[in-house]
Structure 1
Amino acid sequence: MKLLTRTTLIFLFYASVVAGAGTFVYYSLINKLYYAYVDRTLSRRKLRVEKAMRLYLHSPADLAYWHQLDHNVEFVPLRHLPPRRADRLSVRPMYNELTGKSQPYRQLASAVTFQGRPYELQIRLSLFDTQQLLLRIVLAGGVLFGLLVLGLFGLQFALNRRLWQPFYALLDQLHKYKLNRSQPVTLPETRIREFQELQDAVQLLLRQNQRVYRRQKEFTENAAHEIQTPLAILHTQLDLLVQAPGLTEEQATHIEGIMSVTHRLTHLTKSLLLLAQLDSKLFFATEIVDVAAVVRTQVAHLREQIAVRNLTVETDIADSVPLCVHRGLLEVLVSNLLVNAIRHNLPGGRLRILVTTEVLVVENTGRPESLQEAGLFNRFQKSTDSPAESVGLGLALVLQICTNCGLPLRYSYQEPGIHRQQVLLQ
């Protein structure tokens, strides 16, 4: 989830809670204020009724006549006056003859005396229209509050998108950045100090990475030249020495051992240099390569090794499997997978090769246990039964190439003693 989306959701949640709680508090406050207003109105009317009782009413019939004129004023006879004559306020449902429905009324009840007789004066005020008015007021307030929240939310979203534009521009440039290309990474003009500091930090980091990259690239190129050239000369001199006249059998045996070590050292050097290039994320130009054709070529190159170990080869290779990849890396990948399956196979075992548009599979018979926990793809990881010429970098190179090319690599073990390497091509 993006940072802007997360902060927006937090603001939205906070605004929703405040809106809900605010609407409830607003309704409660308006309701309380209105009831206080109604109660003051009833108290003033009570004073006017008491004044009228003293000045204009002369008999109980006048009280009944007043109630007929105004149903909201009623005199209820009492047997005796209550000990406490404080006014009582309550909400009372009553039938309304005009609407034909029961409606809530706010009622003030007070004990009074008229011509020496106790009465309970009941003054009422309808709350029906009042409640609808309150709901409309609260609804209007809620709508205004909601519009305010939505407006603030939209304004915050628009401002954030505009203020964060330099960050997204920098992020887009970093996505397109290639270490092997000295392309500048700059932020648009901004007066925000944090983004300016971010730009300075990114520029410093990229300069340091460029410097390290150039030094490592120079070292790799120098190592490739300075190490491989002496090895090639040594190998040539040994070939000449083998062909020299008068060479004894014992001398030939020693020279053959030296040549074997030289060949192993040459292979080790090439593998280490390729690993260094892959680790440095050097740029490898890609092209459309036929995986099926590469596999067929590599199998043909390894026919002699397959025959020496008397292996049964089963192939199921599609006619054409195009893939956008660096040809040299793909050849190393296929070669190392096949060589590993041949070296660690059982004498007279089986080698199965499957190539489809979706996957490259290499299966071989081997020791009856899974190798997943044995550091299968670690560098210089060699089993006890590995041949002497193995340098322990084959599968490490395979994993690094797959990672560099974005091709998932899977290992699985199946009974009895079937080891499978899978490279997903899509």
Structure 2
Amino acid sequence: MKLLTKTTLYFLLIMLPVFTAGAFFLYNRFNKEIKHETDEELLNDQLEWVRYLDTTSAGNPVFRISTPEFNIRPVDAPVQRKPRLTTVDIYQEPEDTYAPFRQLSQVITVRDQHYELIIRKSLIEKDDLVKNIIHVMLLAFGGLLVFALVSNWLISRKIWKPFYRSLDQIQQLQLNKLAKVIFEQTPTYEFNQLNSSLTSMTARMYQDYLNMKELTEDAAHEMQTPLAIAQSKLELLLQDESLTAAQQRNILLSYDELQRLSRLNHSLLLLAKIENRQFPVSAPLKLAAVIRKYLQLFEELIAEKQLTINSQLDEESEWPLHPALADLLISNLLGNAIKYNYAGGEITLLLTARSLQISNTSELAAIPADQLYQRFKKQQDTYSNSNGLGLAIVKKMADSYQLTLTYLHTGNVHQFTVTLP
């Protein structure tokens, strides 16, 4: 969930109970105020009626009035010092319903005779007034809530814009372009602190990248030169006819190990370059052409083992890979499929718009999952010329360029699948 959405939801969760509580408070307050005003009116009416009754004769028709709003009748109950105020529901025949009334009742004395005086005032219109006021206030509260939410969202979006711009820059970072990364100054202190830290961090990363790149380049130059000299010297020694068979065999073994060391050095440097993303992708390439190129390069090995090649290639499939990495991917996977196959076996190549699948028959067992991409782990001791870095390099390349590499073993078939994100 995005930060802006989360902030808006929290604001909504806080404001809804506040507005609801405010609406209930105002409703109760209005009811109390209306009842208070109605009670004051009833008390004034009761005072006027008492004064009037004190001036009338006992035979006045007023003592026989009985209506929903006014009623007076003789009683034997004692005189009440204070009137009693209550809310009652009175049946209304025309509407066939009960209507709320505010009622004042009190036992009074008129010419030594006790009477119960009841005065009522209808609350229908006042209740309607309260409901109308509440509806208006709810609409106002709802509008205010929507306005507050929209305003909060717009303001937060504007305030957080510098953060999202910095985030976009971080997501698009490439090691070989770190020197050009500049985080903008903003009016917000905290964002300036964040951008300052990011600028410092990217500067250190770029310096580390340059140091590592320099190291790999120096290592490639410094190590390959003495290795090449040692190999040439051994080649000269092998041409010396005075050497015994045992001496020639020892020199030949040393020459083979130097070649293996040279390949190992090349593979380690290649791994370092892949990890440092020193193979930028300028344009997608058609992988089918690369596959066909290596099928031709490995043609003699394929013929020697009498392998059957089954290929189904999407000629328009374009992959976001550097040409050197595409060569690395195909040469390693196809080379392994040939190397670990048996005579008369099969290799199946399936290239689609989103995936590459290379399968080969083999008499060798499945590769253990914990050793599949482990560096310097030879998959089979039979092949002494392997340095154990082929699949490790392919895996590192896949991880660095967001490709998915999977392995499946079924029966006597080993299958590697590379999938685009």
Q: Aligned partners of 1:344, 1:214: CA distance in 2, in Å?
A: 39
CA distance in 2 between counterparts of 1:352 and 1:361 reads 8
- Matched with 2:415 is 420
**Map of 1:136 onto structure 2:** 132
Q: Counterparts of 1:84-95 in structure 2 under 5 Å?
A: 87-95=83-91
Matched, 1:287 2:283: yes
What is the CA deviation profile of residues 324-377 of structure 1, one whole-angstrom value per residue up to 9, with x for unaligned ones? 321110111111112233344456544322222332111233468654632312
Q: Which amino acid aligns with 1:418?
A: V
1:51 partnered with 2:47: no
Determine the C-alpha separation between the residues in 1 that align with 2:19 and 2:168. 38
- Alignment RMSD (CA, Å): 2.8
TM-superposition CA deviations, 1:77-125 (whole Å, max 9, x none): 44x3169776433332224477675422111222234455443321111
TM-score (norm 1): 0.88
Instruction: Say whether residues 1:401 and 2:397 are aligned partners.
Output: yes
Partners in 2 of 1:315 and 1:235 — Cα distance?
A: 39
Equivalent in the alignment of 1:172? 168
Contact 2:307–2:344 (8 Å) recurs in 1: yes
Distance change in 2, residues 1:225/1:244 (3 Å): same
The one-letter amino acid of 2:136's match is A
Q: In structure 2, what is the Cα distance between the partners aligned to 1:168 and 1:178?
A: 18
Q: 1:406 to 1:51 in 2, by over 3 A?
A: same
Map of 2:319 onto structure 1: 323
Instruction: Point out where structure 1 has 5 or more consecutive residues left out of the alignment.
Output: none
Name the SS of the counterpart of 2:353 in structure 1. coil
Q: In the TM superposition, what is the alpha-carbon distance from 1:276 to its structure 2 partner?
A: 0.3
Equivalent position of 1:120 in the other structure: 116
Whether 1:28 and 2:28 are equivalent positions in the alignment is yes
1:248–1:284 CA distance, 2 compared to 1 (3 A): farther
Kept in 2, the 8 Å contact 1:366–1:419? The answer is: yes
Q: What do residues 228-286 of structure 1 show as CA deviations (whole Å, max 9, x unaligned)? A: 22222323333333344445433332232122212211211111111101111224243
Whole-Å separation in 2 of the counterparts to 1:283 and 1:307: 33
The 3 A distance-change label for structure 1 pair 348 and 120 is farther
| Structure 1 counterpart of 2:145, from 145, 149, 157 | 149
Look up the equivalent residue of 2:398 and give its one-letter code.
Answer: C
CA distance in 1, matches of 2:312, 2:356: 10
Contact preservation (8 Å) 1:180, 1:283: no
Shift in CA distance, 154/321, structure 1 to aligned 2, threshold 3 Å: closer
Contact 1:170 1:185 in 2 (8 A): no
Q: Name which of 235, 240, 262 aligns with 1:239.
A: 235
Q: How does 1:213-228 map to 2 (within 5 A)?
A: 213-228=209-224
* Per-residue deviation, 1:196: 1.9
Cα offset, 1:134, TM superposition: 0.6
Distance 2:55 2:79 in 1: 26
57, 77, 81: which one pairs with 1:81?
Answer: 77
Does 1:360 pair with 2:356?
A: yes
Check whether the contact 2:281–2:320 (CA below 8 A) recurs between aligned residues.
no
Q: Gaps spanning 5+ residues in structure 2: where?
A: none
CA contact (8 A) 1:242 1:252 kept: yes
Which amino acid in structure 1 is aligned with residue 28 of structure 2?
S
Q: Which moved more, 1:215-224 or 1:55-64?
A: 55-64
1: CA distance between counterparts of 2:361 and 2:80? 105
Asked if the contact 2:46/2:119 (under 8 Å) is kept, the reply is: yes
Describe the superposition over 1:10-67 as per-residue Cα deviations: whole angstroms up to 9, x where unpaired.
11221122112211121112112221222232223222222222123533632224x4
Answer whether contact 1:112 1:119 (CA < 8 A) is retained.
Answer: yes
In the alignment, the residues of structure 2 paired with residue 214 and residue 354 of structure 1 have an alpha-carbon distance, to the nearest angstrom, of: 39
Query: What is the CA–CA distance in structure 2 between the aligned matches of 1:372 and 1:86, rounded to whole Å?
Result: 97
Matched-pair identity in %: 32
* Residues 278 and 404, structure 1, Cα contact 8 Å, conserved in 2: yes
Task: Say if 1:174 and 1:57 are closer, same or farther in 2 by CA, change over 3 A.
Answer: farther
Maintained 8 Å contact 1:63/1:75: yes
Q: Which residue of 1 aligns with 2:63?
A: 63
Q: Distance in 1 between matches of 2:248 and 2:314?
A: 46
Paired residue for 2:185? Answer: 188
1:14 aligns with: 14
SS at match of 2:310: strand
CA distance in 2: counterparts of 1:89 and 1:309, whole angstroms: 111
Q: Take 1:155 and 1:307, find their aligned partners in 2: how far apart are those partners?
A: 74
Q: Does the alignment pair 1:104 with 2:104? A: no
Alignment length, in residue pairs? 420
Distance 2:184 2:9 in 1: 28
Pair 147,316 (structure 1): closer, same or farther in 2 beyond 3 Å? closer
Structure-2 change in CA distance of 1:157 and 1:73 (3 Å): same
Deviations 1:197-243 (A, max 9, x none): 11221121122112111111110110111112222232333333334
Matching residue's letter, 1:238: L
Amino acid at match of 2:141: F
**Which one is further off, 109-118 or 277-286?**
109-118
- Checking the alignment, whether the CA contact within 8 Å between 1:105 and 1:127 is kept in structure 2 is yes
User: Given that residues 406 and 417 in structure 2 are in contact (C-alpha distance below 8 angstroms), is that contact kept between their aligned partners in structure 1?
Assistant: yes
Question: What's the counterpart of residue 204 of structure 2?
Answer: 208
